Chains A and B, each alone.
Chain A
Amino acid sequence: EAGVAQSPRYKIIEKRQSVAFWCNPISGHATLYWYQQILGQGPKLLIQFQNNGVVDDSQLPKDRFSAERLKGVDSTLKIQPAKLEDSAVYLCASSPRTAYGYTFGSGTRLTVV
């Protein structure tokens, strides 16, 4: 089966600019997650979707970050405006919610300068 697809793979932007990341989960997976992985740290959940709805966005900095999942399939994560501390790898993952363990994408490495 195809894996979780993410794009772009790398992105460099200046602070205060905006950026968007795209994720296509494994077909049929109802649950989609966005994690932020800062260098030297473990991934931290930003937002979790179940189909179209948000399950958990308690760690999402809502003043600058937004995410949507249209039609319960693809998802987009946006940062506007970006700060230096947003430099990280943004990981998307999906799960069928009937088994433990997700499938992660390769991530988007964001550098804010």
Chain B
Amino acid sequence: GDSVTQMEGPVTLSEEAFLTINCTYTATGYPSLFWYVQYPGEGLQLLLKATKADDKGSNKGFEATYRKETTSFHLEKGSVQVSDSAVYFCALAWDQGGKLIFGQGTELSVKP
């Protein structure tokens, strides 16, 4: 069945460092891909999305490009801040409003 795999955490970075969180998926076809973020004590929030191959999603300085050749959707940010400390989830879905299939999450901790 469909699945999403993320790099293991926790990831610890210093402020202003470059961030990459790897995400790959297994699916037959080309689903839509998402990154969600969960700040401490809060619910999941949609960070960015890409609905077709080669699309780039971006928000709040984060970017991810849908690569069908490598079935990947890696999350990147050029300069992280302490406020980016959270758990990041990669996910896929097949249609608007359809169920999300999540990866296991990657915890990011940014130190000043």
Listed in ascending order, the chain A residues whose CB lies under 8 Å from chain B are 3-4, 31, 33, 40-45, 48, 56, 91, 93, 95-102, 104-107
Listed in ascending order, the chain B residues whose CB lies under 8 Å from chain A are 4, 32, 34, 41-46, 49, 51, 89, 91, 93, 96-97, 99-105
Question: In the complex, which residues of chain B have a beta carbon less than 8 angstroms from the beta carbon of A98?
Answer: 96-97
Taking a contact as CB atoms closer than 8 A, the residue among A3, A40, A97, A102 that contacts B100 in the complex is A102
Question: In the complex, which residues of chain B have a beta carbon less than 8 angstroms from the beta carbon of A95?
Answer: 96-97
Question: In the complex, which residues of chain B have a beta carbon less than 8 angstroms from the beta carbon of A33?
Answer: 99
Lowest 9 CB-CB distances: which A-B pairs, in order?
A: A42-B102, A97-B97, A104-B43, A101-B46, A104-B44, A106-B43, A45-B99, A95-B97, A31-B97
The complex places the Cα of A107 from the Cα of B38 at a distance, in Å, of 11
Question: In the complex, which residues of chain A have a beta carbon less than 8 angstroms from the beta carbon of B101?
Answer: 45
How many whole Å from B66's CB to the nearest CB in chain A?
A: 13
The complex places the Cα of A40 from the Cα of B43 at a distance, in Å, of 15
The complex places the Cα of A100 from the Cα of B105 at a distance, in Å, of 20
The complex places the Cα of A80 from the Cα of B53 at a distance, in Å, of 44
**Residue among B41, B46, B51, B100 with the highest chain A CB neighbour number at 10 A:** B100
Question: In the complex, which residues of chain A have a beta carbon less than 8 angstroms from the beta carbon of B49?
Answer: 100-101
Q: Closest residue of chain B to A47, judged by CB? A: B99
The complex places the Cα of A96 from the Cα of B96 at a distance, in Å, of 9
Assess A43 versus B44: contact at CB under 8 Å? Given A33-B99, A56-B99, A98-B96.
Answer: yes
The complex places the Cα of A95 from the Cα of B51 at a distance, in Å, of 17
Question: In the complex, which residues of chain B have a beta carbon less than 8 angstroms from the beta carbon of A105?
Answer: 43
A42, B93: Cβ atoms under 8 Å? no
The complex places the Cα of A41 from the Cα of B102 at a distance, in Å, of 9
B102, A100: Cβ atoms under 8 Å? no
Q: Closest residue of chain B to A43, judged by CB? A: B102
Question: In the complex, which residues of chain B have a beta carbon less than 8 angstroms from the beta carbon of A107?
Answer: 43
The complex places the Cα of A21 from the Cα of B43 at a distance, in Å, of 16
How many whole Å from B4's CB to the nearest CB in chain A?
A: 7
Query: With contacts A31-B97, A91-B43, A95-B96 known, what are 8 further pairs, Cβ within 8 A?
Result: A42-B105, A43-B89, A43-B100, A44-B102, A56-B99, A101-B34, A106-B42, A107-B43
